[in-house]
Amino acid sequence: MSRGLILVGPPGVGKGTQAELLNERLGLVHLSSGEIFRAEIDSQSDLGRLAQRYIDEGRLVPNGITIEMMAKRLRTGEVRRSGFILDGFPRTVRQAEALDTDTDDLQLEITAVVSLVADEDVVVARLSERGRADDDPETIKRRIQVYHEETRPVLDYYEKQGLVRHIDSDQPIEDVHADIVRSLGHD
């Protein structure tokens, strides 16, 4: 069975960067919920218009819509053949439960959950430099609050399944990558 990884961590911790490096190294299909939403916004689809309201305010897009969107992306031959890496999803326990059902149905397996850890001042500084539309100080504050309330419990959910590896993300990009690979047993 192909491998399925999940990257979890606060906004700005480097999930997207590390997911890309893992994609290059392990050939896993990279599915970033934030990127998928931004592509929908760019193409001015109904989903994009709906998602934008939430994203601009630093709130989560509703679970039902997000779960549906990601399930569609998981249901492809390429994911089945190459495995997957999820970045930004699941972000709530409801999403994690739905993902468990979907991966069971699709005969996919979540093999590890990588928790990227950095101090709050480090992630806030990174986000402020990035300058994306949803990276203004008020929205950043809201996103970090949402992370603590909604997404931290997702880590507990996977801890119970023994899947979580904690990685120090306050290091150079290549070192974080090396630590992740080592934690997966891919030296």
Query: By the criterion CB under 6 A, which residues form the site for ligand ADP?
Result: 11-12, 15, 33-34, 37, 54-55, 58-61, 66, 88-89, 91, 95, 134, 143
C-beta of 101 vs 182, nearer to ligand ADP: 101
Tell me whether residue 12 or residue 83 sits nearer to ligand ADP (CB atom).
12
Element housing 182 (H / E) = helix 173-183
The answer to whether residue 130 is catalytic is yes
In the bound state with ligand ADP, the residue whose beta carbon lies nearer, of 55 and 180, is 55
Q: How many angstroms separate the CA atoms of 184 and 187, rounded?
A: 8
Q: Which of 25, 49, 53, 130 is catalytic?
A: 130
Whether 15 is a known active-site residue: answer yes
**DSSP H helical segments within 75-172, as ranges?**
77-82, 93-105, 120-130, 137-146, 152-159
| Catalytic status, residue 132 | yes
* CA gap 181, 187 in Å, rounded: 6
The catalytic site residues sit at 15, 91, 130, 132, 143
